[in-house]
Amino acid sequence: MFCPYVNSVYLFTYVKENKMKIIIAAVSGVATLGLLWIFFRPPFGENIVRLNTNQRVVALTFDDGPSPPYTDRLLDVLAKHNVKATFFMIGNRVQQYPETVRRVIAEGHQVGNHSYSHPVLGFLPAASVRREIERTDALLRQIGVKGEIVFRAPVLTRFLPVAWVLARQRRAHVSCNVWSWDWTTQNPDRITKTVLKKVKPGSIIVLHDGKGVYGNAKRLGTVEATDRIITALKREGYTFVRVSDVSH
């Protein structure tokens, strides 16, 4: 039978006899939560989520390429609208399709680093993170990329190892504030509506011209949606820039 008095006495006695254990458990719990927070949300380094502007300016970004023929078709769409974008490229695909990379550069777009092999960098040791970044940097330099090479981690996993390496390189991480979700659907209507619903001045929009290590993923829906997104946003008075065109 439940008796409030007896249970209260029991609880008081238990706490009194195990006070130190309870304190240690509480401190350990708080410390664990703190360490997890630091790991997943490092309190140092720069994470760019949006452009530093309140003007009707947005940045289109494309991840996981180069991936012919979809990168080339996206370049055709961008050229038709006279729009510049930023392409975050995977190193091993840069090696496979150097001519596509050269076309991206020649047409005035920005080329960024998206790791060498598209692992989930946030769960790798710092040394492995550094190798993934530096190997792709070297490939991009060899192929003709000049100036700043912006970086975005695969799956946007800017966890502690990634933030640590980037901070030591005095380098920002480019994230986003508009997800297209085009890796879950290639329905151009859905992609377009998803993006247009979320866009605000200064938005960084993420789309994909490839699919991680599976570079032959079809991206026709993304190509069509990009055409529609540009048309709709221009109608609303938006202009388009590369990530580094607006100071952050």
199: left (phi over 0), alpha (psi -120 to 50) or beta: beta
173 catalytic residue (yes or no):
no
Q: Which of 63, 64, 72, 137 is catalytic?
A: 63
Cβ(37)–Cβ(75) under 8 Å?
no
Q: Which two tokens stand for residue 206?
A: 């993420």
Q: Which of 64, 182, 208, 209 is catalytic?
A: 208
63 catalytic residue (yes or no):
yes
Alpha-carbon 62 to chain mean position: 10
Q: State the CB neighbour count (10 A cutoff) for residue 47.
A: 16
DSSP-based helix, strand, coil % in the chain, nearest 5: 50, 15, 35
Annotated active-site positions, please?
63, 208
